[in-house]
């Protein structure tokens, strides 16, 4: 369909190429949806919550109870993610896939808990193979439900204290970048805190030394890395991204953690990247390098590091503009304007 899409874009009543990135976005969206008239109908946001065993090692400035406290806060409409979902018309689903707290009686939270947090990957794999597969299935089911409701674009966000730690390890292993260059401040660690985090993650990588041996380019090796270091909310996001690709649903990718999930998803199924639009480059150390490895061009760079999917939601109006451009602008023939190129 590419020639037909390009012809439609070039015949809109504007100088050829004058809308820049909006034109390439429109091309991508049309190709994903396989149509000359794309839609962003029923946008959905999946907010996935899970805790991490590695938090017990003091790698985050925030304690783990903040995960469940924020999850409850989201149900009351008080989070950054709530504000942006309201602003841009996204239907928000708040999902507990691994929070270390009983949220089963909390209205507004979908209970898909796999376990009350992952294990401490300093000493053992974060999850079993069955748990990893279940997390993938939950992500698949969530996107399938959205797609059945007519969703054409899904945004994914996360809530999980210490989840920059597994993201840094995924980045190092999948991108072949020295670990120290992948580790940042997370939610606000000071210099001594970052030093401690580096020490803990170096030791975790050393303890799981077999993962550093060759063959990381295979899907089987990728699954090993995902399972050993991942979080339930992160693996659920991978499942959601893969199902979105299968259903021709656009995925808005958020910051450092969700970009790590996108990276992992692309290691399992490279063509999944075709449906991904990268919302922004965040403030976490290494995010730009991870995006470069993916060949991704983020739409925004606002110094954000909140997570929750907020950066991707901020970028949505640009995506909307690309769709409106190709659907609503007149062409030279209908506007009775001389085509001058």
Domains and CATH numbers, the chain: 42-319 (3.40.50.10210)
Q: Is the Cβ–Cβ distance between 258 and 312 less than 8 Å?
A: yes
Up-side HSE of residue 8: CA atoms within 13 Å toward CB? 19
Burial class (CB in 10 A: 0-12, 13-18, 19+), 92: buried
* CB-based contact 113:101 (threshold 8 Å): no
pLDDT number for residue 340 = 67
Place of tokens 């449906």: 275
Bridge partners for 94 per DSSP:
47, 109
Least Cα distance to 95 among 75, 79, 76 occurs for 75
Which of 270, 267, 273 shows the shortest CA–CA distance to 253? 273
Give catalytic residue positions.
308
Place of tokens 């007519």: 150
CB 280 within 8 A of CB 254: yes
Separation of alpha carbons 192 and 212, rounded Å:
27
DSSP 8-class letter at 81:
H
Positions of the chain with pLDDT under 70: 187, 210-217, 285, 335-336, 340-341
Query: According to DSSP H, which parts of the chain are helical?
Result: 2-10, 20-33, 65-75, 80-88, 129-148, 164-175, 191-207, 219-229, 232-246, 256-268, 287-294, 310-328, 332-335
Nearest to 233 by CA among 284, 164, 293: 164
Q: In this predicted structure, what is the pLDDT of residue 209?
A: 79
Distant-in-sequence, close-in-space partners of 160: CB < 8 Å, separation ≥ 6: 48, 49, 50, 51, 52, 67, 98, 231, 233, 234, 257
Read off the tokens for 260. Answer: 């790590």
C-alpha separations of 102 from 65, 108, 114, 260 in Å = 11, 14, 12, 28
β partners of residue 161: none
CA 50, CA 235: separation in Å to the nearest integer? Answer: 10
């Amino acid at each position: 369909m590419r020639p037909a899409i390009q012809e439609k874009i070039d015949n809109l009543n504007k100088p050829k190429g004058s809308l820049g990135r909006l034109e390439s976005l429109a091309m991508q969206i049309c190709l994903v949806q396989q149509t000359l008239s794309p839609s962003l109908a029923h946008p959905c946001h999946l907010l996935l919550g899970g805790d991490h065993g590695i938090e017990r090692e003091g790698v985050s400035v925030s304690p783990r109870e903040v995960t469940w406290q924020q999850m409850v806060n989201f149900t009351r409409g008080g989070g950054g993610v709530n504000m942006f979902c309201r602003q841009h018309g996204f239907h928000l689903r708040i999902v507990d896939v691994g929070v270390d707290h009983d949220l089963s009686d909390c209205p507004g939270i979908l209970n898909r808990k796999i376990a009350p947090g992952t294990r401490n990957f300093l000493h053992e794999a974060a999850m079993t193979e069955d748990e990893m597969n279940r997390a993938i299935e939950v992500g698949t089911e969530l996107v399938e439900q959205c797609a059945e409701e007519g969703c054409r674009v899904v945004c994914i966000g996360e809530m999980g204290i210490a989840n920059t730690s597994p993201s840094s390890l995924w980045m190092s292993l999948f991108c072949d970048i020295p670990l120290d260059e992948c580790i940042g401040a997370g939610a606000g660690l000071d210099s001594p805190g970052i030093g401690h985090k580096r020490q803990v993650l170096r030791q975790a990588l050393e303890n799981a030394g077999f993962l550093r041996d060759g063959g990381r380019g295979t899907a089987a090796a990728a699954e090993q890395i995902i399972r050993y270091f991942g979080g339930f909310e992160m693996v659920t996001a991978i499942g959601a991204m893969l199902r979105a690709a299968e259903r021709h649903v656009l995925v808005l990718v958020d910051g450092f953690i969700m970009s790590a999930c996108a990276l992992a998803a692309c290691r399992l199924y490279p063509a999944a990247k075709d449906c991904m639009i990268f919302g922004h480059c965040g403030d976490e150390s290494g995010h730009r390098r991870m995006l470069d490895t993916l060949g991704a061009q983020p739409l925004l760079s606002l110094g954000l590091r909140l997570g929750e999917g907020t950066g991707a939601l901020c970028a949505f109006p640009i995506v909307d503009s690309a769709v409106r451009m190709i659907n609503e602008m007149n062409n030279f023939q209908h506007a009775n304007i001389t085509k001058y190129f």
